[in-house]
Structure 1
Amino acid sequence: MVSESFLPTVNGVTTSVCRVLESLRDRGDEAVVIAPTDGDGSYAGFPVVGVPAVAYRKFPVGLPGPSVQRTLEAFGPDIVHAASPFLLGAEGIAAARRLGVPTVAVYQTDVAGYALRHRWGRGAARLARAWVRRMHEQADLTLAPSSAALAELTDLGVPRLARWGRGVDLVGFHPNLRSDERTRALRRALTPDGRVLVGYVGRLAPEKRVERLRALRGMRGIRVVVVGDGPAAADVRRALRGVPTTFLGQLTGDDLRTAYAALDVFVHTGTEETFGQTIQEAQASGCPVVAPRAGGPIDLVEHGRTGLLYAPEDDDALAAAVAGLVADPARRARIGEAGRRAVRERSWEKVCGQLFDHYGEVLARRAAALPSAQG
């Protein structure tokens, strides 16, 4: 598994890689991870081979090099899984091709949108799109997490596409936590006067557009809660001056699950998400979701039943959706319950099983092609 991100960096790519590794362990398979980490280590009993990296906006970017192919040669994989490939992942795919090993590339990051949001310019966005197309053309199969991502890759001309979503921890994220004493204590600390807690969870980066929560300024009876950290943290704090906001920083494990359970409304602000893992986590926690009608959220939220969708660039529509839920506790409860029901079939066990089926299809196609190739 060649991943552009891994622990201690916490994001959607890292989470999905860790869950896949745990499922591989449970199946009795073997794996090795190549990722931008500080030295070598292990996870789920598998070796993690670190590669050099440079930091960009607090995010380690793995640098391709000959160690990638050396690691693959020494391990002798049946298949190479490239998680959100860009630089390191592209080298992983290329090395696998040189070794005759089939590859599955998992598309998780809208690189072109990222380039525009970080003001690299339209030329850089065009180059990013061309690079994404060229890179994924080399893979035996590219997996897209949502219908929007699948359409985007189809428009780019990427061949051999299939859809593969993401799982969610249905045990760790659970509505029952709302009555847990830790959750009650957090709510008392956040809102001793009983305000409605409107929250965001995720990385604080330009593409996440968390500053849009300033549209809630002046809304009565709420407190905004921001969970996460990142390069845009200072900008978000400045933007939310005048909005009653508590910043909890980056949380993991039980602290993160408690934070979700404490929220009354979850708001997703970015419009370039290829999936939207935090939306699933909020739904699993029984928290009603407000999200833009763009990208991954379109597949995750059924408007009016499992959440509310707003026009992607309309901050007034965002505020109106939140206000409607703030004013109606019964509706919050109804949508929160429906959201929980919607994710019950998306356990990591089931989703990883779908991934392994894709592995099997790629291996079968490669095996079927060998006789003609040899002939």
Structure 2
Amino acid sequence: MSSESGPQRPSSHPLSEFPASLRGKRILLCTESFGPVNGVSRTTLMLVNHLRANGANVAVVAPDNHTRTNTFIPKQPSTASESLPDNVGRQSLDVRIQGYPLPYNPELSIVYPVRLSTLYRRTFETKPDLIYLASPASLGFQVMLQLRQQPLENQVPIICNFQTDLAGYCNILFPPPFSNLAVLAFSHVQTFLFNHFSVKTLFYPSRFIRRYLEEQRVQRDKLEILQRGVDTELFHPRRHSETLRQRLAPNNEIILICVSRLGGEKGFEFLAEVAKNLDARGLNFKLHIVGGNRNVAVETEIKDSFSSLVDKGKVEFAGFLVGEELATAYASADIFLHCSITETFGLVVLESMASAVPVVARDEGGPSDTVYDGKTGFLTPPGNLDAFVDKVTLLAEDAALRRKFRENARSQAEEWTWEKINNQVAWRMADTIAQSERERAESAVGAKLAQQEETPEDGSGDAGGSLVMAPSPLFGWLTMSDAVKARASDVRILGGMAAISASWVAVGAYLVFINAGIWVKKTFRGVFLR
């Protein structure tokens, strides 16, 4: 891990405190997935609960799929001094909209077109004070595009949290030229959307993502780093279970753990090769893989790549685990393996470290900013399989080094608290709303002064008594330029929406085709093997 470079916007506010000015403010939070299903959605869930617990009125808009959860209940203030008025922070609005789940990742949906005015009406019945977009994709893009069409007086400030590298996913999942076209499309769309003045702040989680956003020509003064927190009470080494260890490793094997959704972009092809190489070297290990995929065909294909090791008892798939079960799985392991190179942060890495489990990760994406190489784990060149296997072997065979890394990992994780992370967001929200209110007030005063200047007290309309000439046809045409520009802007926006919709349709169609291929291969496997 190296220090963050480039200009920052560090908070000048005490991150141990929640901004009082945010209480009662209307925040429309749009997210592409919500609930305890992955790192991104868990991060958003923690933020929503924190904002509501402290009195902000947050309305959540998310796709209507299996991520539905009943956790939209604000916690009561912890002390009497924090008690809130009856009409503050008590709203738990949950608006679900329809979409098409992606075959490879049903946690994400291509959201069907929805009007911004409809979202306003179904949440606060009026426009909110601020819009927060978590990992904007099909829903977030629609919101930003529609807001661009609003007149100045109807603009709402936007804060985006860029947590998902969609272009990176496409680059891995699709073969050329589909991958090249997808990356190019995302590049143009994001540059167009993020550079609009309504987008005030773009949070990013790592140096890897900052470089990407700068390549998209996003204004640097909008960028602010936002790392993630971890629940150090839930993910704690005391969750260690000898019962689980005895079941997984009855012969005192080294327990390797990987926690991830089973998806093609998560590096499981690389992990399978790592496991096969470790087995070839004679390492006595058990690989415990936690996670799944609601698309059974995709999950089956990934599991098949480990079939020989499963048969030998070297690999076990645990499926989805959450809460204490997940925390126990972490804390009972010896080494965490992270093979994905598409993670913008990699919350599972931090959860592992909080559980006092050292990490071996590929040096790409978020883990590069989370793992202290040689102190809390090891980072290896992304494409160097031998280097990764070497570091796993070193840690597996050196118990003293593992103990040292375990202590360092836990100490580092204790510094990353959710309260500080979420208060950073809350202060940015409060500052953004305050700035927007000042700008509206100044605009109103300016408009009033301009109107007074155009209407002299004597009503003459000509203070100097000079001759007022009739406007020329050319002057009249020029005064229409604003309307012409507005029309051109509308055409551009409609074109952007069409391009985004076409891109999503193309992606969906391609994934359906691939999904059908996987199903055919699975269904007729026995026929082909005869």
| 1:197-235 superposed Cα distances (whole Å, 9 cap, x missing partner) | 011001111111122122232241111110001254223
Q: What are the residue-to-residue correspondences of 1:223-242 with 2, within 5 Å?
A: 223-230=286-293, 231=295, 232-242=298-308
Task: Give me the whole-angstrom Cα distance separating, in 2, the residues matched to 1:165 and 1:149.
Answer: 12
Aligned-pair distance for 1:277?
A: 0.4
Task: Give me the whole-angstrom Cα distance separating, in 2, the residues matched to 1:359 and 1:373.
Answer: 21
Task: Give me the whole-angstrom Cα distance separating, in 2, the residues matched to 1:228 and 1:42.
Answer: 22
Aligned-pair distance for 1:193?
A: 1.0
Task: Give me the whole-angstrom Cα distance separating, in 2, the residues matched to 1:267 and 1:329.
Answer: 17
Q: Which residue of 2 aligns with 1:162?
A: 224
For residue 320 of structure 1, give the secondary structure of its aligned residue in structure 2.
helix
Task: Give me the whole-angstrom Cα distance separating, in 2, the residues matched to 1:36 and 1:134.
Answer: 24
Select 1:307's aligned residue among 369, 377, 382.
377
For residue 61 of structure 2, give the secondary structure of its aligned residue in structure 1.
strand
Q: Which residue of 2 aligns with 1:171?
A: 233
Select 1:340's aligned residue among 410, 414, 438.
410
| 1:71-119 superposed Cα distances (whole Å, 9 cap, x missing partner) | 2245142111100001101223344553421110110111111111111
Aligned 8 A contact 1:34 1:68 in 2:
no
Aligned 8 A contact 2:371 2:377 in 1:
yes
**Corresponding letter in the other structure for 1:101:** V
Select 1:61's aligned residue among 84, 91, 109.
109
Query: Within the alignment, does 1:204 sit opposite 2:266 as a pair?
Result: no
Select 1:118's aligned residue among 173, 181, 185.
173
Aligned-pair distance for 1:237?
A: 1.7
Aligned-pair distance for 1:361?
A: 2.7
**Corresponding letter in the other structure for 2:304:** R
Task: Give me the whole-angstrom Cα distance separating, in 2, the residues matched to 1:242 and 1:332.
Answer: 28
- Taking structure 1 as reference, are residues 13 and 95 closer, same or farther at Cα in structure 2, changes over 3 Å only? farther
For residue 140 of structure 1, give the secondary structure of its aligned residue in structure 2.
strand
Q: What are the residue-to-residue correspondences of 1:97-136 with 2, within 5 Å?
A: 98=150, 99-119=154-174, 120-136=178-194
Aligned-pair distance for 1:42?
A: 5.2
Select 1:15's aligned residue among 36, 42, 59.
42
Aligned 8 A contact 1:210 1:236 in 2:
yes
Select 1:288's aligned residue among 334, 339, 358.
358
Select 1:91's aligned residue among 142, 155, 159.
142
> How many residues matched?
370
Task: Give me the whole-angstrom Cα distance separating, in 2, the residues matched to 1:2 and 1:64.
Answer: 14
Aligned 8 A contact 1:33 1:47 in 2:
yes
Select 1:256's aligned residue among 323, 326, 331.
326
For residue 213 of structure 2, give the secondary structure of its aligned residue in structure 1.
helix
Q: Which is further off, 329-338 or 130-139?
A: 130-139
Query: Within the alignment, does 1:77 sit opposite 2:112 as a pair?
Result: no
Aligned-pair distance for 1:163?
A: 0.8
| TM-score relative to the length of structure 2 | 0.67
Task: Give me the whole-angstrom Cα distance separating, in 2, the residues matched to 1:103 and 1:345.
Answer: 29
Task: Give me the whole-angstrom Cα distance separating, in 2, the residues matched to 1:96 and 1:207.
Answer: 32
- State the Cα RMSD in Å: 1.9
Aligned-pair distance for 1:26?
A: 1.6
Q: Which residue of 1 aligns with 2:97?
A: 51
Aligned 8 A contact 1:201 1:227 in 2:
yes
Q: Name which one, 1 or 2, has greater alpha-carbon Rg.
A: 2
For residue 94 of structure 2, give the secondary structure of its aligned residue in structure 1.
strand
Task: Give me the whole-angstrom Cα distance separating, in 1, the residues matched to 2:267 and 2:71.
Answer: 32
Query: Within the alignment, does 1:5 sit opposite 2:33 as a pair?
Result: yes
Aligned 8 A contact 1:80 1:93 in 2:
no
| TM-score relative to the length of structure 1 | 0.93
Q: Which is further off, 42-51 or 346-355?
A: 42-51
Query: Within the alignment, does 1:271 sit opposite 2:341 as a pair?
Result: yes
Aligned-pair distance for 1:348?
A: 0.9
User: Unaligned stretches of 5+ in structure 1?
Assistant: none
Select 2:250's aligned residue among 192, 196, 218.
192
Aligned 8 A contact 1:2 1:80 in 2:
yes
Question: Higher RCO, 1 or 2 (CA under 8 Å, sep at least 6)?
Answer: 2
For residue 326 of structure 1, give the secondary structure of its aligned residue in structure 2.
helix
Task: Give me the whole-angstrom Cα distance separating, in 2, the residues matched to 1:185 and 1:174.
Answer: 17
Q: Which is further off, 61-70 or 321-330?
A: 61-70
Q: Which is further off, 267-276 or 98-107?
A: 98-107
Task: Give me the whole-angstrom Cα distance separating, in 2, the residues matched to 1:41 and 1:106.
Answer: 21
Aligned 8 A contact 1:64 1:91 in 2:
no
Q: Which is further off, 51-60 or 318-327?
A: 51-60
**Corresponding letter in the other structure for 1:127:** A
Task: Give me the whole-angstrom Cα distance separating, in 1, the residues matched to 2:391 and 2:57.
Answer: 47
Aligned-pair distance for 1:177?
A: 1.4
Task: Give me the whole-angstrom Cα distance separating, in 2, the residues matched to 1:295 and 1:354.
Answer: 22
For residue 58 of structure 2, give the secondary structure of its aligned residue in structure 1.
coil
- Taking structure 1 as reference, are residues 59 and 22 closer, same or farther at Cα in structure 2, changes over 3 Å only? closer
| 1:245-293 superposed Cα distances (whole Å, 9 cap, x missing partner) | 0000111111111111111000100112111100000000000001111
Q: Which residue of 1 aligns with 2:433?
A: 363
Aligned 8 A contact 1:42 1:48 in 2:
no
| 1:45-72 superposed Cα distances (whole Å, 9 cap, x missing partner) | 2121110011212334141433543222
User: Unaligned stretches of 5+ in structure 2?
Assistant: 1-28, 74-91, 447-530
**Corresponding letter in the other structure for 2:135:** S
Task: Give me the whole-angstrom Cα distance separating, in 2, the residues matched to 1:197 and 1:101.
Answer: 51
Aligned 8 A contact 1:69 1:96 in 2:
no
